Amino acid sequence: MHLGASTGRTLVVATAVVALSLGACRTSTDDVTRWAATSQGPKKLTAVLTHEKYPLDLRVEAAVALIGMKPRSGRRVGIQGGDDQPGLIAALGQLPPATRSALIAELVPRLEAEMKKPRPKPQGNEAPVDPGIPFKDAAFAILTENGGSLLTDPALRERLRSAIARFVTTNFAERLDDSSQLYGVEQVMRELKAEGVRPLPAQMTLGAAKLDRMVDLIADFGDEPTKLAAGQRLVAIAKETASPAWIQQKTPVVEAANKASKLVVKPEDLKKQVLQYQEEEVLRVMTSMKRLGTRPVVDYLLQTAEDKQKSERLRSSALVALQNKLDKSNPAHVDALLAIAGGGPEVKDEMRDAALQRVGEFPRPMVLEKLYVLFDNPNWRVRWVAAGLVLRMSDTPDLESFFARLSKVRGMSINEPLRYGALLSAMKGPPSPAEVAAKYAAPPYSAQVRTSALGYYYAVGTRADLPKVQAYEQDKTRVPSCAKDARDCEWKCDVRAGDKSETKDIATIGDFVSFCIKPAMESRPGGKT
């Protein structure tokens, strides 16, 4: 049968259509896998991903192949794209919303499966390549790039967030330092926040690597239950580290290190080494405790600070770690701190100061009267720090009660009025600090009060203020001298005479003004204060 021209043209078009269809069908999963390793692979895979003629399952395979491609010139072209072709993320952005949603819905389970695969164990000294990294990066990019518009299904977003959180918190230490990632662990955590750090407390065990970084992330992003769990883990780690079992376990380790260094160490010195090592490790945990806080941590640190069997270093460090972590409504916390601060000579200055610094974080009404009790402590340094706290918490209208308490103390050091005067100069009024100083420097106030008021001029007085103090140069009132056998307590000032310096004993208020106050004022040529 003879075919006309029009019929012939129809056959040609039909043949072309069939050929195109057959070509599309001939592109298989094997092709997709093979292209991932070829120079033109990114272009071909992107074409499969974006072209409607390919079935959805093949387009998903193309997406997986793009993700798994090895970096080229240090760039993950399959995800990020290159100079001459888009990568996965840009290609997804080109798709119609309905097509993109369908494709990503099929892709999410594949991403989850790849991220669940175990990280290979190290071979020799070389760190293994983590095959899950590119799939985590692709998942995170789908979540966040283009303002998060690539994935709009709430359920799928939550699945990806959970999968990413599991991935970065599994093998946390290794993945934290893996520089091959497009999105580092900390960047991921800033996006996932509480959900991201929730698995971390379970990994906080004795000897865990990157424990401090886990705590940092939990402190920054964790919700209260996660922080509480982390605090409980830190306390458990600290107690394990401080245990006799830890000593027994680490003694052979220290002994082996000594032998490796060809050191001959006596048994008693080995014991000291291990104890010092133990203390350093507990201090390391305390550093993380300071970062995190929480009730279990506060209780542990406060108990450590109160424990007289602990070393001074541990007790002082526990007090430092409590900075801004105590319950500001709990009077028992104040009482514990003041008991430490007001202790006997066995309490060293560093620990006493740390305890009083923590007291200073509490509301003034809660601690004021308790601080005044310390004014009667036989150690002048206790009063010195306690009185300084009172002044820092006060304004000038509060000074009447302060000076009333100060007038009753005995055994003052010259350091006290000089410090009190300096703190007075920074206080808020009215009346102004200058007005307060002028009032309380004069009789009939006690020597304890007058020297403290005169300390204001030592701190900030200038030559213009000299007439305010010169009247006291002949004052024979005795200064409040040191208590008998008081440590580091004296009343002396150095006076320069030309190129020489002479130390003067201070017995009276006149001496105090002549040899201490006036020289300091004369060194300041400013105007009136």
Give me the residue spans of the domains in the chain: 22-118+131-192, 203-323, 326-392, 394-529
pLDDT tier for residue 348 given thresholds of 50, 70 and 90: confident
Helices and strands (H, E) in the chain, number of each type: 29, 2
Cα separation of 514 and 243, whole Å?
59
**CB neighbours of 477 closer than 8 A, spacing ≥ 6?**
443, 447, 450, 508, 509, 510
By the 8 A CB rule, do 299 and 228 touch? no
Instruction: Please give the share of the chain, as a percent, with pLDDT higher than 70.
Output: 94
Reported pTM: 0.82
Rounded mean pLDDT, 20-47:
72
Q: For the packed helices 267-292 and 224-241, what is the interaxial angle rounded to 10 degrees?
A: 170
Coil vs helix vs strand at 493: strand
Q: How far is CA 322 from CA 162, 350, 413, in A?
A: 34, 15, 30
Return the pLDDT at 26: 63
Does residue 184 surpass a pLDDT of 50?
yes
What is the rounded average pLDDT for all residues in the chain?
A: 90
- DSSP β-ladder status, 500-505 and 492-497: antiparallel
Burial (CB < 10 A; 0-12, 13-18, 19+), residue 160, is: buried
Cα separation of 291 and 217, whole Å?
10
260-294 confidence digits (pLDDT tens)? 999 999 999 999 999 999 999 999 999 999 999 99
Q: Which two tokens stand for residue 529?
A: 């204060």
Return the pLDDT at 527: 53
- Max CA separation in the chain (angstroms): 142
Cα separation of 482 and 374, whole Å?
17
Cα separation of 97 and 146, whole Å?
13
Q: Of 378, 377, 520, 412, give the one whose Cα is nearest residue 462.
A: 520
Supply φ then ψ for residue 111, to 5 degrees. -65, -45
Burial (CB < 10 A; 0-12, 13-18, 19+), residue 67, is: buried
Q: Of 277, 294, 343, 295, give the one whose Cα is nearest residue 316.
A: 343
